[in-house]
Amino acid sequence: MKAVDMKAAVCGILMAALLGGCGVFAPERKPEQRVNLSGYSPSFKQGYSDGCDSANSRGQRRDESRYKTEADYMMGWNDGFSVCQRKR
């Protein structure tokens, strides 16, 4: 290969790599990424996630036994549901 051909090939590869990085990706919809839940219990986080999923879907996603017996799960579910319902 001639030096000119090699330079053209390298430039083509670099341009393809640069343009390939310009794609737009939709962010994954996870409540933990939109709201800082660090410091909360795993039970609260699961409740928050279930509540947010319920607000964003047609069906309710809630572990009824945990909702009735675990205060953290109940508070997380209520918070997740109300926050995500307002963002719709």
Residue 3 covered by a domain:
no
C-beta separation of 70 from 41 below 8 A: no
Residue 19 has pLDDT above 70, yes or no: no
The verdict on residue 17 lying in a domain is no
The answer to whether the predicted template modeling score (pTM) of the entire model surpasses 0.85 is no
Instruction: Dig out the tokens for 17 from the structure.
Output: 């790599």
Number of domains in the chain: 1
Within-domain flag for 4:
no
Is 39 among the domain residues?
Answer: yes
Is residue 62 in some structural domain?
Answer: yes
pLDDT in tens, 57-82: 878 899 999 999 999 999 999 999 99
Among the listed residues 24, 19, 21, 44, the one whose alpha carbon sits nearest the alpha carbon of residue 32: 44
CA atoms within 13 A on the CB side of 28: 3
For residue 16, being part of any structural domain is answered with no
Radius of gyration for the alpha carbons in the chain, expressed in angstroms and rounded: 23
Give domain status of residue 81, yes or no: yes
